[in-house]
């Protein structure tokens, strides 16, 4: 190799390295309530998500990624501030981040990019709806697009008994694709990609609403899943016999129906079908956005990150909904692609949505704020087998936590009761090992990771917040005392 050639190659690699490191764009795609029913994650054999699967192949897919809270506002607030719910006390649907002492002044993920001269834009649901009343939201992203909802028909489609929460509905929506909220959210993201200034890098965040209930999608998407061909998740009627009584409190009084209700009303299969159809429709909108990114000519300089705020049960553990500390509720799709990321890789290390803030700052070459509690995944994005020395932790109200490593899930509730599952041998979490003598050392090792800081719900919290008074042990739910003599609703 002659000297001239070597020098040329060195210059080439230096240029290539500096191009990829110099403030890449970021396209962040958020999804609401999408569990692992995604083709590349294998959670349901009929999941139809070709665009998400293609995006996963373009980069590194995390197959063991978990939310920090199984509910919209606390999960998103954690991701966007880089702080755990157990640190901030944001456990419920309110308050928003700027209403809480622990997060009132912390720089958020979009702010870090904005301060680095990025063009920042948000459309759809990225922050939790209503958590940033205008004009406060203009202090986060500089530019805001529309955030349409899903619309509701005059009367519910699903055959559930009244009264019910208005969101508890599903079925084919009679309007055209272009009338659906997620279609319009994709339109907004496409427009933002086309009009983002070329003189600056961009940080564009777009948040899709489906498959969050109500699961409405145009009829053609339901036709992809004929009702009698829909495969129901595997469920055991005695699955809750070995879970602590306290596990019921986590979703006591929530609007999501029990599996028994769905079975009685013959709505289990229609809900599963609607979730699959809604996910497929939402996936098609992601496909439109990714095609628009390609059309900008900036795709090679763009980090694309996709995540869901938490999972969703569709009958597993005898419930539908979120708000649990089990795998179906905590496991989320998470994938990253673009400059500095190995394509076609799958990483099985336990990782957290909390890690996204430091990861994106790291990949973009920006200084991460000191307050962040997650860690950069840059090493795993280069080499999916790179070690990681911490598990993923999910919190649902003070005192209730799940710790997930590569083999086990350990859950401890506010009353001290426990669950332990061997996720390799028992991926459905059917057998609670917590009471077995041989589990003691495993539980002790997992319990070391329980958050040392575990604050009560922040003032102003409402909506389904469970609180435990450490002095008396009294547990309240939405301000109402609950205790040993209550009749906990069961399936
Ligand atoms: Ca959600």
Series of mean pLDDT values for 10-residue runs along the chain (491 residues): 54 44 91 98 98 98 98 97 97 92 96 98 94 87 94 88 87 92 98 97 98 96 97 96 87 80 95 98 98 98 98 95 96 97 98 98 97 98 97 95 98 93 98 98 98 91 69 72 63 53
Ligand 1 centroid, distance to 28 Cα (angstroms): 16
Nearest Cα to 82, choosing from 116, 106, 114? 106
Ligand 1 centroid, distance to 83 Cα (angstroms): 18
Q: Which two tokens stand for residue 282?
A: 């939402």
Count CA atoms within 13 Å of residue 105 on its CB side.
2
pLDDT at position 19, please? 41
pLDDT at position 476, please? 75
Count CA atoms within 13 Å of residue 85 on its CB side.
33
- The CA-CA-CA angle for residues 29, 212, 220, to 5°, reads 90
Ligand 1 centroid, distance to 12 Cα (angstroms): 45
pLDDT at position 62, please? 98
DSSP designation for 462: B
Q: Which domains does the chain have, with CATH numbers?
A: 22-385 (3.40.720.10)
Q: How far apart are CA 207 and CA 288, in angstroms?
A: 14
Is 72 annotated in the active site? yes
Ion ligand 1, residue ranges at CB < 5 A = 32-33, 72, 309
Ligand 1 centroid, distance to 398 Cα (angstroms): 19
Task: Classify 415 in phi/psi space as left (phi over 0), alpha (psi -120 to 50) or beta.
Answer: alpha
pTM over 0.85: yes
Tell me which of 44, 66, 91, 128 is the catalytic residue.
128
Tell me which of 40, 67, 72, 215 is the catalytic residue.
72
Ligand 1 centroid, distance to 382 Cα (angstroms): 29
Is 67 annotated in the active site? no
Ligand 1 centroid, distance to 34 Cα (angstroms): 8
């Amino acid at each position: 190799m002659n000297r001239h050639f070597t020098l040329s190659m060195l210059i080439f690699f230096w240029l290539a390295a500096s191009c990829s490191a110099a403030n890449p764009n970021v396209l962040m795609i958020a999804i609401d309530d999408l569990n692992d029913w995604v083709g590349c994650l294998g959670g349901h054999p009929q999941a139809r998500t070709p665009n998400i699967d293609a995006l996963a192949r373009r980069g590194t897919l995390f197959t063991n990624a978990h939310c920090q809270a199984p509910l919209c506002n606390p999960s998103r607030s954690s991701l966007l501030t880089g702080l755990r719910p157990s640190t901030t006390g944001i456990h419920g649907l309110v308050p928003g981040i700027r209403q809480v002492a622990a997060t009132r002044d912390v720089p958020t993920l979009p702010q870090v990019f904005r301060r680095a001269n990025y063009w920042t834009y948000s459309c759809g649901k990225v922050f939790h709806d209503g958590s940033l009343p205008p004009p406060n939201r203009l202090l986060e992203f500089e530019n805001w697009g529309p955030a349409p909802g899903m619309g509701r028909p005059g009367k519910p489609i699903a055959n559930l008994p009244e009264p019910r929460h208005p969101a508890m509905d599903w079925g084919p929506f009679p309007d055209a694709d272009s009338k659906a909220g997620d279609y319009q959210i994709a339109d907004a993201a496409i427009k933002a990609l086309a009009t983002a200034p070329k003189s600056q890098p961009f940080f564009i965040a777009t948040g899709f609403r489906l498959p969050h209930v109500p699961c409405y999608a145009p009829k053609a998407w339901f036709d992809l899943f004929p009702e009698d061909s829909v495969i129901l998740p595997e469920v055991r009627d005695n699955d809750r016999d070995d879970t602590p009584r306290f596990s019921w409190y986590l979703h006591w009084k929530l609007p999501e129906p029990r599996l028994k209700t769905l079975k009685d009303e013959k709505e289990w299969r229609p809900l599963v079908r609607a979730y699959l159809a809604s996910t497929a429709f939402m996936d098609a909108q992601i496909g439109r956005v990714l095609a628009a990114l390609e059309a900008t000519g900036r795709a090679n300089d763009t980090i694309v990150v996709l995540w869901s705020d938490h999972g969703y049960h569709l009958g597993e553990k005898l419930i539908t909904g979120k708000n649990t500390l089990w795998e179906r509720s905590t496991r989320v799709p998470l994938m990253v692609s673009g400059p500095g990321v190995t394509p076609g890789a799958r990483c099985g290390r336990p990782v957290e949505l909390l890690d996204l803030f430091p990861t994106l700052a790291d990949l973009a070459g920006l200084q991460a704020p000191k307050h962040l509690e997650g860690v950069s995944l840059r090493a795993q994005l280069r080499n999916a087998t790179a070690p990681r020395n911490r598990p993923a932790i999910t919190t649902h109200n003070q005192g209730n936590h799940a710790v997930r490593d590569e083999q086990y899930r350990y859950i401890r509730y506010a009353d001290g009761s426990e669950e332990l599952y061997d996720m390799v041998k028992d991926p459905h979490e059917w057998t609670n090992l917590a009471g077995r003598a041989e589990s003691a050392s495993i539980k002790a090792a997992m319990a070391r990771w329980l958050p040392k800081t575990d604050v009560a719900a922040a003032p102003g919290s409402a909506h389904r917040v469970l609180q435990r008074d450490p002095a008396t042990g009294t547990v309240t739910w939405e301000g109402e005392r609950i205790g040993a003599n209550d009749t906990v609703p069961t399936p």
